[in-house]
Amino acid sequence: MAPKKSNAKRGKSAPKRSSKPSAPRDGQNLIISSYFEVINQQGAVGADTQMSYSIRCDPRDCKLQLSSSAGATLGAEGITVAKADGTTLIAGANNFADLPFLRFAQFAPLYNQYKINKISCDVTVDRGAGLENKLMFATDKADATPAGNVGVLVGSAHKEMTMTESRRTGKYGWKPSDAQDKEYRNMKQELSDNDAHFIKVYQDIDSNANGKCTHKVLVTISATLKDSAGTAVALN
């Protein structure tokens, strides 16, 4: 006697997807970063001071600005800024410098437009600032001036972080929220300061003879690049 045929339908396996990645439709997504250190070195006679600087939120023209000249002596205090390779980023009587995003500079000539998706700022503080002095962040538009005191920051939206022995890295960021900031920008046209956003970092530093405090800062930017016609250009 022949076996009965089963009426159960055999399940069909899901179609296999191609392992070949497809080019992004909206453009080339790029994650870029820049690292620097801000160092506060006090003299033989200590003085209460602060670590204060601002970062311009634009990979095409990202700038770091200090609250004072890098080579200046403020009472017993001096401020210097170093890059990841240990060389001086800001020297002499200057209080600002361009932050290098080498990968963006490499890819930018291939595109006509770009937009910022988000910017994050990680600040790791050594024990020179003490546990009682909070690390503070804020975002401002059209004003690159670093905060001069705590009152400037607490008067508007901001973020505070209390240091502990095991937790010494503060994280903060900015993400476009209105239509103008979300638009693509012309790669050859500079963004005016009136339209730019700035991340501001502030921390009080207590008097400490010959004391030293260092902020190790990593700025990471997510951006999308595309050409004027909206067609992605392949990068190999």
User: Does the structure show a pLDDT above 60 at 1?
Assistant: no
**pLDDT value at residue 199:** 97
Q: Which amino acid is at 43?
A: G
The model's pLDDT over 107-146, given as tens digits with 9 standing for 90+, comes to: 998 899 999 999 999 999 998 888 899 999 999 999 999 9
The model's pLDDT over 62-98, given as tens digits with 9 standing for 90+, comes to: 999 998 766 554 444 467 788 878 788 887 778 889 9
Mean pLDDT score of the chain, rounded to an integer?
A: 83
- Kind and range of the H or E element at 56? strand 49-56
**pLDDT value at residue 74:** 43
Over range 1-23, report the average pLDDT.
54
| Rounded CA separation 101/103 (Å) | 6
Domain harbouring 125, CATH code:
2.60.120
Structural domain contains residue 138:
yes
User: Does the structure show a pLDDT above 80 at 193?
Assistant: yes
Structural domain contains residue 6:
no
**pLDDT value at residue 212:** 87
- The range of the structural domain enclosing residue 143 comes to 36-226
| Rounded CA separation 216/123 (Å) | 6
| Rounded CA separation 198/188 (Å) | 21
| Residue found by looking up tokens 């930017």 in the block | 221
What's the whole-model pTM score? 0.82
User: Does the structure show a pLDDT above 90 at 100?
Assistant: no
Structural domain contains residue 1:
no
Structural domain contains residue 131:
yes
Whole-number Cα distances in Å, 8 to 13, 47, 225: 15, 84, 52
User: Does the structure show a pLDDT above 90 at 172?
Assistant: yes
Structural domain contains residue 233:
no
**pLDDT value at residue 236:** 41
**pLDDT value at residue 84:** 79
The model's pLDDT over 196-233, given as tens digits with 9 standing for 90+, comes to: 999 999 999 988 888 889 999 999 999 999 985 444 44
CA-CA-CA-CA torsion sign (148, 150, 152, 156) = positive
Structural domain contains residue 19:
no
| Residue found by looking up tokens 């006509």 in the block | 112
The model's pLDDT over 19-53, given as tens digits with 9 standing for 90+, comes to: 444 444 458 899 999 999 998 888 787 788 889 99
**pLDDT value at residue 85:** 81
Give the list of residues 6+ apart from residue 166 with CB closer than 8 angstroms, or none: none
**pLDDT value at residue 234:** 44
**pLDDT value at residue 70:** 63
Structural domain contains residue 207:
yes
Structural domain contains residue 142:
yes
